[in-house]
A and B are shown apart, each in its own frame.
Chain A
Amino acid sequence: MSEQPALEPLLDVRDLRIHFQDGDQIVKAVDGISFQLAKGETLAVVGESGSGKSVTALSITKLIATPPAIYSGGQILFHGKDTLTMSPSELRSIRGRKISYIFQEPSSSLNPVFKIRSQIAEVLQLHRPDIKDIDREIIRLLELVGIKDPALRFHDYPHQLSGGMQQRVMIAMALACHPDLLVADEPTTALDVTIQAQILELLRDLKKEIGMAIILITHNFSIISGIADKVAVMFRGKIVEFGPTAEVIKNPQHPYTQALIECVPRMGARAKRLKTIDYSKVNV
């Protein structure tokens, strides 16, 4: 983080610590991490299950329930204001409007008993009550995320759409309020490789078109090149490496980052065995 952006960063996380009480044990899910995100920038957070990447993402709008979680230190400055000390009503004005989320499993994030139209309309009515023609805005959003015949599709129920289409609807809902920051938590992990490529392409286009910042959370190094400007590698609650994506992939410094990149199967490599991570050699 040598280069200091001229303007104040959109998001400035300082020495964040989130612990969980488990019986008489304390689990340090996030253990003193700091990073900054400028407007329109994309940050990838890469790590394995349990590394603390999702907890970090959810904590930005204080979505982790306390208890069992304890926000035991640090600050999350969004537009210069600490979200960890905000009142519930202040948080509500940010959640979904300034910062929105998409998750891994689109089918479990959508309500199965409501049509697509009414689920997007709910977001608009709540956050943008000034809109007159809600249907037109919904159609515009669905078009934006690449859904064909949106005027027909918005009468569908979630189960009538494929996984890739459902994820597009989730993205449309997330974009409904022109957020400054989109947090995508494993957005393609539940999807086929071909659909994954389409969704990543869509995020790449939207980033250019709308200029919002994105935090992309994933366990898979191979999906982040071409979309993320910077990458933070997390291991056991700590950021072990941080830098520009291309540079980190080309020349990873930390042994854990090296191992995580090497274990991805590569087409045409014809390697006999895949590399695995030897945790005894990873020191934090």
Chain B
Amino acid sequence: MNLIEVKNLKVYFPVYGGIFGKKIAEVKAVDDVSFSIPKGKTVGLVGESGSGKTTIGRAMLRLAPVTGGEVIFEDKNILAIGENEFRPCRRKMQMIFQDPYSSLNPRMTIFQIIGEAFEIHEPSLSKDERRERVGKLLTQVGLKKEVMSRYPHEFSGGQRQRIGIARALAVNPEFIVCDEAVSALDVSVQASIINLLQDLQEQFALTYLFISHDLAVVEHISHEVLVMHHGKIVEHASAEAIYESPQHDYTRKLLSAVPKI
């Protein structure tokens, strides 16, 4: 069963120019893209900078302006419904960002960062209950409960990414977009975060869209792989097939760029 389905998604950005500042062209960041993600599975989205992969991830969470197409989640086209109707869906869809340094507010403690989600989505919780939930989330991502009183700068890159994951998990999401979630990390730390994401997927039946420019990482974590080039999906195959029999020239080029140890 598909958890989320993207149909003919288009995101065009206008280019303004000329002496009157009129729209003179448009950039087709995402150009007629369709795919679906089965529940509990990971779809990898791979491509170079500027290929439109981040825009797809953002558009699926209603975080980017969409020119056309549909995103079907729970039998609803979430792009066509009003903000009030969408709000219950919002908590089921979360995002983990690339840069663990800039995605955590430096003036908030870890308790405030993760607990903020409860203030909005579960306002009935008392402070002690919130504290307990945050502590539980921290242990789930491999950190100690006691760290919740600390500030982001006291943590390493890998630990911050774990905090970002705990924040995403706070609202019991079903779908998580991981946008270059391990690209800024050392390979050794990258391995532990990938393992954590896989463990959490098993535990909570999470569905991931895993965005990365690194085909080796995508191939490892994904069940299916989409290869993007200039706003279009040029290849869609299982992780095994992408590696064993790439069909598109661009996929072959990406494969050959992966360094071999």
- Write the A155-195 contact mask toward B (1 if CB under 8 angstroms, else 0): 00000001100000000000000000000000000001111
Query: Is A194's CB under 8 angstroms from B257's CB?
Result: yes
A194 contact set on B, CB distance < 8 A:
48, 213, 253-254, 257
Q: A220-B187, A263-B187, A267-B215 are in contact. Are A274 and B195 (CB under 8 A)?
A: yes
Query: Is B244's CB under 8 angstroms from A221's CB?
Result: no
Nearest residue (CB) in A for B216 is A265
**For the complex, what is the distance from the CA of A195 to the CA of B259, rounded to whole Å?**
12
B219 contact set on A, CB distance < 8 A:
265, 267-268
A221-273 interface with B by 8 A CB criterion = 221-223, 225, 249, 259-261, 263-271, 273
**Which among B48, B187, B190 has the greatest number of chain A C-beta atoms within 10 A?**
B187
A275 contact set on B, CB distance < 8 A:
191
A268 contact set on B, CB distance < 8 A:
219, 243-244
B222-261 interface with A by 8 A CB criterion = 240, 243-244, 253-261
Which one of B198, B217, B244, B259 lies within 8 Å of A197 (CB-CB)?
A: B259
Query: Is B261's CB under 8 angstroms from A273's CB?
Result: no
Q: A222-B259, A273-B195 are in contact. Are A266 and B187 (CB under 8 A)?
A: no
Which one of B49, B188, B194, B195 lies within 8 Å of A48 (CB-CB)?
A: B188
Which one of B49, B156, B260 lies within 8 Å of A163 (CB-CB)?
A: B49
User: Is the CB of A97 closer than 8 A to any CB of chain B?
Assistant: no
Q: Tell me what chain A mostly uses at the interface: helix, strand, loop, or mixed.
A: loop
Question: How many B residues face the partner with a CB closer than 8 A?
Answer: 33
Query: Is B261's CB under 8 angstroms from A222's CB?
Result: yes
Query: Is B259's CB under 8 angstroms from A223's CB?
Result: yes
Query: Is A193's CB under 8 angstroms from B261's CB?
Result: no
Interface size class of A (residues with CB under 8 A): 35 or more
User: Is the CB of B76 closer than 8 A to any CB of chain A?
Assistant: no
Query: Is A277's CB under 8 angstroms from B259's CB?
Result: no
Query: Is A222's CB under 8 angstroms from B260's CB?
Result: yes
Nearest residue (CB) in B for A221 is B261
User: Is the CB of A84 closer than 8 A to any CB of chain B?
Assistant: no
Query: Is A264's CB under 8 angstroms from B220's CB?
Result: no
User: Is the CB of B157 closer than 8 A to any CB of chain A?
Assistant: yes
User: Is the CB of A276 closer than 8 A to any CB of chain B?
Assistant: yes
User: Is the CB of B126 closer than 8 A to any CB of chain A?
Assistant: no
Q: How far is the CB of B200 from chain A (nearest CB, A)?
A: 13
Nearest residue (CB) in A for B156 is A49
User: Is the CB of A200 closer than 8 A to any CB of chain B?
Assistant: yes
Q: Tell me what chain B mostly uses at the interface: helix, strand, loop, or mixed.
A: helix
Q: A192-B48, A222-B261, A225-B260 are in contact. Are A260 and B188 (CB under 8 A)?
A: yes
Query: Is B186's CB under 8 angstroms from A48's CB?
Result: yes
User: Is the CB of B8 closer than 8 A to any CB of chain A?
Assistant: no
Query: Is B261's CB under 8 angstroms from A249's CB?
Result: yes
**For the complex, what is the distance from the CA of A280 to the CA of B255, rounded to whole Å?**
35
User: Is the CB of A19 closer than 8 A to any CB of chain B?
Assistant: no
User: Is the CB of A219 closer than 8 A to any CB of chain B?
Assistant: yes
Q: How far is the CB of A232 from chain B (nearest CB, A)?
A: 17
Query: Is A192's CB under 8 angstroms from B259's CB?
Result: no
- Write the A120-161 contact mask toward B (1 if CB under 8 angstroms, else 0): 000000000000000000000000000000000000000000
Query: Is B191's CB under 8 angstroms from A265's CB?
Result: yes
B103 contact set on A, CB distance < 8 A:
none
Nearest residue (CB) in A for B158 is A49
- Write the B177-206 contact mask toward A (1 if CB under 8 angstroms, else 0): 000000000111111101100100000000
A–B complex contacts, Cβ < 8 Å, 14 sampled: A163-B49, A192-B49, A197-B256, A221-B187, A223-B259, A225-B260, A249-B261, A263-B187, A263-B188, A265-B190, A267-B215, A268-B219, A268-B244, A274-B191
Instruction: Point out residues on B near A: beta carbons under 8 Å.
Output: 48-49, 156-157, 186-192, 194-195, 198, 213-217, 219-220, 240, 243-244, 253-261
Instruction: Point out residues on A near B: beta carbons under 8 Å.
Output: 48-50, 162-163, 192-197, 200, 219-223, 225, 249, 259-261, 263-271, 273-277
| A265-B219, A274-B192 known, 17 other contacts, Cβ within 8 Å | A49-B157, A163-B49, A193-B213, A193-B259, A194-B48, A194-B213, A197-B259, A200-B259, A221-B261, A225-B261, A260-B187, A264-B191, A265-B216, A265-B220, A267-B258, A274-B194, A274-B195
